[in-house]
C-alpha cells in the first residue's frame, strides 16, 4: 500500500520527476504532483507550448521540461491544484503555487513556508501575486527564499500575521 493514500501527502521521493537544477536556473519550470489516473486534462489543453502530454483523458500528466516556458497558466487552471513551478534566481529558490484562501498575501510580504503536511519549514518573501481572474478564481503566488533545497518541499504559505 502506498503511503500517500494512507496519509494524504507525497514525500519528495514520490514526485514522479523534477527538472534539473540547470534547467530551472534559466527560468522556472512546472512540476506535477498529479499522480492518479483521473478523467481530467485542462493542463494539457491550456499549455500553448505542448509541454504537457497525457495518454487519453485518464492519463497522468507527463511534463516535457525542455518545452515548459514557466508561464504558469497550468498552475492556475489545474482543478486539483497539483501543479507548481520551481526555479532558482540568483541565490534564491522560487516556488509558484495556486492559492485559494483569504487573505491573499501581497507582493513584498513575508510569509511562512509550509510543506505538504502544512508544517512550517521556513520563511520567504512574496515575489509576485497574480490575483484570481474571473474564470479561475485561484490566485497564483510566487515566493522566494534563501534555502534552495526547499524548492522540492514548499507547497503552501501562511501569512505571518
User: Rule CB under 8 A: which residues touch another protein?
Assistant: 1, 4-10, 33-42, 45-46, 56-58, 77-82, 100-102, 104, 114, 116-119, 132, 135-138, 155-156
For 130, list phi and psi in degrees, rounded to 5. -100, 110
CB of 49 to another protein, least distance (A): 18
CB of 59 to another protein, least distance (A): 10
21 vs 38, beta carbon nearer another protein = 38
Contact 71, 120 (CB under 8 A): no
79 vs 146, beta carbon nearer another protein = 79
Beta strand 83-89 pairing with 92-99 = antiparallel
Here the cell at position 132 is 484570481
Place of cell 490575483: 131
CB of 109 to another protein, least distance (A): 17
77 vs 143, beta carbon nearer another protein = 77
CB of 117 to another protein, least distance (A): 6
- Residue 112, beta-bridge partner list: 123, 158
24 vs 43, beta carbon nearer another protein = 43
For 73, list phi and psi in degrees, rounded to 5. -60, -40
Taking phi over 0 as left and psi of -120 to 50 as alpha, with beta for the rest, 50 belongs to left
77 vs 140, beta carbon nearer another protein = 77
CB of 91 to another protein, least distance (A): 26
Tally of CB atoms within 10 A around 117: 12
Amino acid at each position: 500500500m502506498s503511503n500517500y493514500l494512507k496519509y494524504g501527502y507525497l514525500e519528495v521521493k514520490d514526485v514522479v520527476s523534477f527538472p534539473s537544477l540547470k534547467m530551472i536556473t534559466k527560468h522556472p519550470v512546472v512540476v506535477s504532483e498529479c499522480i492518479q489516473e483521473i478523467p481530467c486534462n485542462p493542463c494539457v489543453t491550456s499549455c500553448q507550448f505542448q509541454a504537457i502530454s497525457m495518454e487519453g483523458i485518464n492519463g497522468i500528466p507527463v511534463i516535457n521540461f525542455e518545452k515548459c516556458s514557466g508561464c504558469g497558466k497550468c498552475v492556475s487552471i489545474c482543478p486539483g491544484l497539483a501543479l507548481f513551478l520551481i526555479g532558482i534566481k540568483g541565490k534564491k529558490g522560487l516556488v509558484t503555487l495556486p492559492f485559494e484562501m483569504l487573505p491573499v498575501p501581497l507582493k513584498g510580504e513575508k510569509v511562512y513556508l509550509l510543506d505538504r503536511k502544512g508544517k512550517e519549514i521556513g520563511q520567504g518573501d512574496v515575489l509576485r501575486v497574480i490575483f484570481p481572474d474571473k474564470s479561475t478564481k485561484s490566485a497564483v503566488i510566487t515566493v522566494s527564499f534563501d534555502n534552495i533545497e526547499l524548492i522540492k518541499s514548499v507547497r503552501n504559505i501562511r501569512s505571518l500575521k
